[in-house]
Chains A and B, each alone.
Chain A
Amino acid sequence: MSFQLREGAMTAVLGAPGSGKSTLLQHFNGLLLPDSGNVRVGEITLDAGSSQAACRAVRRRVGLVFQYPEQQLFEETVLQDLCFGPLNHGVDEAEAEAAARRAAQWMGLDDSLLARSPFRLSSGQQRRAAIAAVLACDPDIIVLDEPTASLDAAGRCELMARLDAMCREAGKTVLVATHRLEDVAPYAEDYVVLREGQLTFHGAGHTLLQHTAALEAAGVIVPGAIRLALGVAELTGIEFDRIWPQPSELAAAIHQAYERGRPT
Chain B
Amino acid sequence: MKRQRMIFGRYIAGDSWMHRLDPRAKILAVPLFMAAVFLVDDYTKLLALLAFTLLLVKSTSISLLAVARAVKSLWLLLSFIVLFHLLFDSSGAQLMQVGAVALYTGGLERGIVAALRMVMFIVFAAVLTFTTQPDQLAQGLGEVLAPLRRLGVRSDRLTLMLGIALRFVPTLFDEAQRIWKAQVSRGLDLRSQPLQKRARLLAALLIPVTAGALRRAVALAEAMEARGYRLDAPRTRYRSLSWQLRDSCFLGLFVLPIAAAAWL
User: Across the interface, do B187 and A137 meet the contact criterion of CB distance under 8 Å?
Assistant: yes
Contact with A along B164-181 (1 / 0, CB 8 A): 000000000001001101
Write out the residue numbers on chain B whose beta carbons fall within 8 Å of the beta carbon of A75.
204
Q: A31, A34, A66, A85: which contacts B187 (Cβ < 8 A)?
A: A85
For A69, the closest partner residue in chain B by CB is: B182
| Among A29, A71, A119, residue most surrounded by chain B Cβ atoms (within 10 Å) | A71
User: Across the interface, do A56 and B187 meet the contact criterion of CB distance under 8 Å?
Assistant: yes
For A48, the closest partner residue in chain B by CB is: B1
Quick one: which of A58-80 are within 8 Å of B by CB?
A: 59-60, 63-64, 66, 69, 71-75
Q: How far is the CB of A120 from chain B (nearest CB, A)?
A: 12
Write out the residue numbers on chain A whose beta carbons fall within 8 Å of the beta carbon of B189.
52, 56, 88
For A31, the closest partner residue in chain B by CB is: B181
A60-B187, A85-B187 known; A72-B182 Cβ under 8 A: yes
**Docked complex Cα distance between A52 and B186 (Å):** 14
Write out the residue numbers on chain B whose beta carbons fall within 8 Å of the beta carbon of A26.
181
Q: How far is the CB of B77 from chain A (nearest CB, A)?
A: 26
Main secondary structure of the interface of B (DSSP, over half): helix
A23-B2, A32-B2, A66-B178 known; A85-B186 Cβ under 8 A: yes
Write out the residue numbers on chain A whose beta carbons fall within 8 Å of the beta carbon of B253.
none
User: Across the interface, do A84 and B186 meet the contact criterion of CB distance under 8 Å?
Assistant: yes
Quick one: which of B203-234 are within 8 Å of A by CB?
A: 204-205, 207-208, 211-212
Quick one: which of A125-175 are within 8 Å of B by CB?
A: 133-134, 137
Instruction: Tell yes or no: B188 within 8 A of A by CB.
Output: yes
| Among B183, B187, B204, B205, residue most surrounded by chain A Cβ atoms (within 10 Å) | B187
**Docked complex Cα distance between A39 and B195 (Å):** 33
Which are the 8 A-B pairs with shortest beta-carbon distances? A88-B187, A85-B186, A64-B185, A72-B182, A74-B207, A89-B187, A74-B204, A66-B182
Write out the residue numbers on chain B whose beta carbons fall within 8 Å of the beta carbon of A71.
175, 179, 208, 211-212
Quick one: which of A9-63 are within 8 Å of B by CB?
A: 23, 26, 29, 31-32, 34-35, 52, 56, 59-60, 63
Write out the residue numbers on chain B whose beta carbons fall within 8 Å of the beta carbon of A69.
182
Interface residues, chain B, CB within 8 Å of chain A?
1-2, 175, 178-179, 181-189, 204-205, 207-208, 211-212
Work out how many contacts link A and B, with CB atoms closer than 8 A. 61
Q: How far is the CB of A6 from chain B (nearest CB, A)?
A: 23
**Docked complex Cα distance between A63 and B204 (Å):** 21
Write out the residue numbers on chain A whose beta carbons fall within 8 Å of the beta carbon of B181.
26, 31, 66
**Docked complex Cα distance between A232 and B178 (Å):** 45
Write out the residue numbers on chain A whose beta carbons fall within 8 Å of the beta carbon of B175.
71
**Docked complex Cα distance between A52 and B175 (Å):** 23
A88-B187, A89-B187, A137-B186 known; A32-B208 Cβ under 8 A: no
User: Across the interface, do B1 and A34 meet the contact criterion of CB distance under 8 Å?
Assistant: yes
**Docked complex Cα distance between A212 and B2 (Å):** 30
For B184, the closest partner residue in chain A by CB is: A31
Q: A23, A35, A88: which contacts B186 (Cβ < 8 A)?
A: A88
**Docked complex Cα distance between A136 and B81 (Å):** 44
A sample of 12 cross-chain residue pairs with beta-carbon separation below 8 angstroms, ordered by A number, consists of A29-B185, A31-B181, A31-B185, A63-B185, A63-B186, A64-B182, A71-B208, A71-B212, A72-B179, A72-B183, A88-B187, A137-B187
**Docked complex Cα distance between A56 and B189 (Å):** 9
Write out the residue numbers on chain A whose beta carbons fall within 8 Å of the beta carbon of B2.
23, 32
A23-B1, A32-B1, A71-B179 known; A59-B185 Cβ under 8 A: yes
Write out the residue numbers on chain A whose beta carbons fall within 8 Å of the beta carbon of B212.
71
**Docked complex Cα distance between A71 and B212 (Å):** 7
Write out the residue numbers on chain A whose beta carbons fall within 8 Å of the beta carbon of B184.
31, 59
User: Across the interface, do B186 and A133 meet the contact criterion of CB distance under 8 Å?
Assistant: yes
For B2, the closest partner residue in chain A by CB is: A23
**Docked complex Cα distance between A185 and B25 (Å):** 58
Write out the residue numbers on chain B whose beta carbons fall within 8 Å of the beta carbon of A137.
186-187
